[in-house]
Chain A
């Protein structure tokens, strides 16, 4: 029999992953108004790179992690420069479709390069659980959770206190006006995509040992999207809460109802949220200040 608390913690890991995925999306949306469908593939590229560096090439772990994240950042810069920047000024719709096209392309490239196999990556640290006031945790789980919190804190500070962070919000509100005020829209776009690269690279690296590396792993993007919507598509805090909620809900329904229900539950939640409260379940606590 599986321990209930183990399930909860597994749900929390999953939720953390969803949340970072959603945060990347919200970040891009906040600054550029684009919904990035390519998120999942960026993460997959990070995971595959880690696998190639650490397992195939047997580079040291720390170097592999850094290089994998760097690879995702470079990919992001390419995407921004060659696919999205030419579309600045075109209908928003086209930019969103462009990320769909990128999703198809990158996924196909992954299949061509690495094949359809399912690879596994050895865990970074011991999986023996430790206990904090009665709750069993593993280092892996707590790392994901801590990383998630750190990123949110950094983003929060970034948007609140840095000049460029404020510029980003201006660009989202009105690109033309922002450009007239001397804010470089291009620079903001690049920066957002670099930040997104760091986020998605990190999540790919963190996920690789837990869920394995396989071509369709990018579909987690849809979950990130769902989390972003439930969280209100504006607040990072909302995304974390929604991510944890969905992660736990999915894990529990996967075990107590059926594995098939696992995914259907999250979509059902989404459709419910869209029907009842299209602005998201979590009120915009953070948005008002961010």
Chain B
């Protein structure tokens, strides 16, 4: 527990900022206002870059769009208070238009596409003289209602108010399921998909948020300066926004604000030569990249909890919804329906009495390699079904076909009466299938609790706007998720590390977090991909007990891929043996153990290895 609480730091800072007009001269107030405006655009960009991990080289372009729209509308008689949000929304829509196609492409192409957008905007501003005034620029008026804001000190309060609101909203986004989804997709896209995160939707959303923030910042920038000209929104300015975010430290809202204030104050420190400041900007930029890649906030990361609000660092909210669940009571059995059950009921209302999971004639090829050859099997409800076979036999491929990460060449996967061909991989979790990954795939930088909460991504009723304003539903939903995730960690016996960064923990605990993350959505079918690999004997035993308990208590079926034969033989109801993508045997453990084909292809080696180690 930290002695200083984040909200205390924030309120002191805000209070000091509010007092600025008292102690500072009007020039200083103007500089502060400018820094606040830049902060808004930088915070938006940080959500896109720091959280969602996408690059945008056109923040100044989006800002220009907001600035010119607002100023144009105001000049044509519309109220500033209406024009500002219109400018912001227009800019957000432009973000959608650029983001939607551009996000299919990655990395440097995205950088180029956004840079081109900013350059086109710049050229349009320069050449569409009838509307933008071209190189001569365009006046931008300050609001006259409810009082006149022509004085800098008065306009400062408008900017401060809007900046505080925008930063507060940004923090709400970041601390919500949206923030978690952004972080997750930045760290691991494949795992994110399996957790039910629609990549395109979330990337586009991050893009829209970022450009909306830029638009609002632009709308304030015009009236602050009093005048708009294309030169303020050149491609170089867009590069400066990247600098600001990197300077403060990616992925921290406070860092973006800090970066903006430092950026704005540099020219005040060096007023000597006109372009000298740009040399300094460039060199600082370079130095940060080389010596301080995580920015100023990176240095403070030890004291991060003082500044940034990260989920789980603060006090635990008491559950607002009561849903009985404890170790003695089976997961998910309750009188009231949890959001998970509602969704699952909805998604497969009719299919409950049909075959549970049926894989039929699935063939999967990678180029010339046949990874799965006409594979068929059935899993009954409530059983533990294991897939075994030598390395490269196609076990993980089979799992990836079931969870829709791979598109099989032919064949069908039917789960509870629904044909899965045509279901997207990010909708699998809603149908009641969740999985763990061979390489664990925990999201770097998130706490154990947050990782597990990502597993609940698809569940909960609150929409984006409710989340942003932290409505009652959103807060309840979030509290429910947090509580449920904690229960899950308790269930796998690692709730003591709930608030630790998951990827810093020992491997065994990471594996359990991965299992908790898959379990938290109360799957009907849990897919475990080599859960015991890399675990100690003791941890392996705990895992076995866990798997048994799961089946007994919840009636959850398990599809297990594992090399540890003790575990496989100990927990499985039935086993399927794969070799070179073909099924060579299927049956109860004792049948498999004595099958000559299996012994030859797979178990034989194991036994020799086993003898050697004995």
Q: Which residues of A approach B to under 8 Å, CB–CB?
A: 35, 83, 86-87, 90-94, 96-98, 100-109, 111-112, 219, 222, 225-226, 229, 260, 263-264, 267-268, 270-271, 274-275, 278
State whether B119 touches A222 (Cβ < 8 A).
yes
Q: Count the B residues whose beta carbon is within 8 Å of the partner chain — how many?
A: 42
Q: Is B283 an interface residue (CB 8 A)?
A: yes
Q: Is B289 an interface residue (CB 8 A)?
A: yes
State whether B242 touches A100 (Cβ < 8 A).
yes
Q: How far is the CA of A108 from the CA of B102 in the complex (A)?
A: 31
Given contacts A98-B290, A112-B279, 12 further A-B contacts (CB under 8 A): A90-B293, A98-B286, A104-B240, A107-B278, A108-B276, A108-B278, A111-B275, A222-B235, A268-B120, A274-B102, A274-B112, A278-B104
Q: In the complex, which residue of chain A has the Cβ closest to the Cβ of B274?
A: A111
Q: Is B551 an interface residue (CB 8 A)?
A: no
| Least CB distance, A32 to chain B, in whole angstroms | 13
Q: How far is the CA of A111 from the CA of B278 in the complex (A)?
A: 10
Q: List 26 A-B contacts (CB under 8 A).
A: A35-B108, A83-B286, A87-B290, A90-B293, A94-B289, A94-B293, A97-B289, A98-B286, A100-B239, A100-B242, A101-B282, A101-B285, A104-B240, A104-B243, A108-B278, A108-B282, A109-B279, A112-B275, A112-B279, A222-B119, A225-B112, A264-B123, A274-B102, A274-B105, A274-B109, A278-B105
Q: Which residues of B approach A to under 8 Å, CB–CB?
A: 55, 101-102, 104-105, 107-109, 111-113, 115-117, 119-120, 123-124, 126-127, 235-236, 239-240, 242-243, 246, 273-279, 281-283, 285-286, 289-290, 293
Q: In the complex, which residue of chain B has the Cβ closest to the Cβ of A98?
A: B289
Q: A96-B111, A278-B105 are known contacts. Are A104 and B293 too (CB-CB below 8 A)?
A: no
Q: Which of B101, B123, B236 sits near A260, CB closer than 8 Å?
A: B123
State whether B243 touches A101 (Cβ < 8 A).
yes
Q: Which of B55, B104, B115, B116 sits near A93, CB closer than 8 Å?
A: B55
A267 surroundings in chain B (CB, below 8 A)? 116, 119-120, 123
State whether A270 touches B289 (Cβ < 8 A).
no
State whether A275 touches B286 (Cβ < 8 A).
no
| Least CB distance, A260 to chain B, in whole angstroms | 4
Q: In the complex, which residue of chain B has the Cβ closest to the Cβ of A274?
A: B113
A268 surroundings in chain B (CB, below 8 A)? 120
Q: How far is the CA of A87 from the CA of B286 in the complex (A)?
A: 10
B278 surroundings in chain A (CB, below 8 A)? 104-105, 107-108, 111
State whether A229 touches B109 (Cβ < 8 A).
yes
State whether A271 touches B282 (Cβ < 8 A).
no
A270 surroundings in chain B (CB, below 8 A)? 112-113, 116
State whether B116 touches A103 (Cβ < 8 A).
no
* A97, A263, A271 interface centre (most CB from chain B within 10 Å): A97
A111 surroundings in chain B (CB, below 8 A)? 274-275, 278
| Least CB distance, B211 to chain A, in whole angstroms | 16
| Least CB distance, B173 to chain A, in whole angstroms | 23
Q: In the complex, which residue of chain B has the Cβ closest to the Cβ of A95?
A: B289
A91 surroundings in chain B (CB, below 8 A)? 293
Q: In the complex, which residue of chain A has the Cβ closest to the Cβ of B239?
A: A100
A222 surroundings in chain B (CB, below 8 A)? 115-116, 119, 235
Q: In the complex, which residue of chain A has the Cβ closest to the Cβ of B126?
A: A260
Q: Which of A86, A98, A226 sits near B116, CB closer than 8 Å?
A: A226
Q: Which of A87, A92, A100, A106 sits near B285, CB closer than 8 Å?
A: A100
A260 surroundings in chain B (CB, below 8 A)? 123, 126-127
Q: A104-B239, A222-B119, A278-B105 are known contacts. Are A112 and B276 too (CB-CB below 8 A)?
A: yes
State whether B243 touches A229 (Cβ < 8 A).
no
State whether B101 touches A275 (Cβ < 8 A).
yes
| Least CB distance, A148 to chain B, in whole angstroms | 22
Q: How far is the CA of A80 from the CA of B290 in the complex (A)?
A: 13
B112 surroundings in chain A (CB, below 8 A)? 225-226, 229, 270, 274
Q: How far is the CA of A226 from the CA of B242 in the complex (A)?
A: 21
Q: How far is the CA of A199 from the CA of B273 in the complex (A)?
A: 32
Q: How far is the CA of A111 from the CA of B279 in the complex (A)?
A: 10
B239 surroundings in chain A (CB, below 8 A)? 100, 103-104
B286 surroundings in chain A (CB, below 8 A)? 83, 98, 101-102, 105
A278 surroundings in chain B (CB, below 8 A)? 104-105, 109
| Least CB distance, A88 to chain B, in whole angstroms | 11
Q: In the complex, which residue of chain A has the Cβ closest to the Cβ of B283?
A: A105
A271 surroundings in chain B (CB, below 8 A)? 113, 116-117
| Least CB distance, A215 to chain B, in whole angstroms | 9
Q: Which of A104, A225, A263, A264 sits near B282, CB closer than 8 Å?
A: A104
| Least CB distance, B119 to chain A, in whole angstroms | 6
A112 surroundings in chain B (CB, below 8 A)? 273, 275-276, 279
Q: How far is the CA of A159 from the CA of B473 in the complex (A)?
A: 61
Q: How far is the CA of A226 from the CA of B109 in the complex (A)?
A: 10
Q: In the complex, which residue of chain B has the Cβ closest to the Cβ of A93?
A: B55
B105 surroundings in chain A (CB, below 8 A)? 274, 278
Q: A267-B116, A274-B113 are known contacts. Are A97 and B275 too (CB-CB below 8 A)?
A: no
B101 surroundings in chain A (CB, below 8 A)? 274-275
| Least CB distance, A151 to chain B, in whole angstroms | 23
B55 surroundings in chain A (CB, below 8 A)? 93
| Least CB distance, B189 to chain A, in whole angstroms | 16
| Least CB distance, A229 to chain B, in whole angstroms | 6
A93 surroundings in chain B (CB, below 8 A)? 55, 107
Q: How far is the CA of A226 from the CA of B112 in the complex (A)?
A: 8
State whether B104 touches A108 (Cβ < 8 A).
no
| Least CB distance, B136 to chain A, in whole angstroms | 15
Q: In the complex, which residue of chain B has the Cβ closest to the Cβ of A90?
A: B293
| Least CB distance, A150 to chain B, in whole angstroms | 28
Q: How far is the CA of A263 from the CA of B293 in the complex (A)?
A: 35
| Least CB distance, B122 to chain A, in whole angstroms | 9
Q: How far is the CA of A103 from the CA of B115 in the complex (A)?
A: 14
B235 surroundings in chain A (CB, below 8 A)? 219, 222
B104 surroundings in chain A (CB, below 8 A)? 278
A108 surroundings in chain B (CB, below 8 A)? 275-279, 281-282
State whether B275 touches A86 (Cβ < 8 A).
no
Q: How far is the CA of A11 from the CA of B607 in the complex (A)?
A: 73
Q: How far is the CA of A101 from the CA of B109 in the complex (A)?
A: 19
* B102, B120, B127, B275 interface centre (most CB from chain A within 10 Å): B275
Q: In the complex, which residue of chain B has the Cβ closest to the Cβ of A263?
A: B123
B285 surroundings in chain A (CB, below 8 A)? 97, 100-101, 104-105
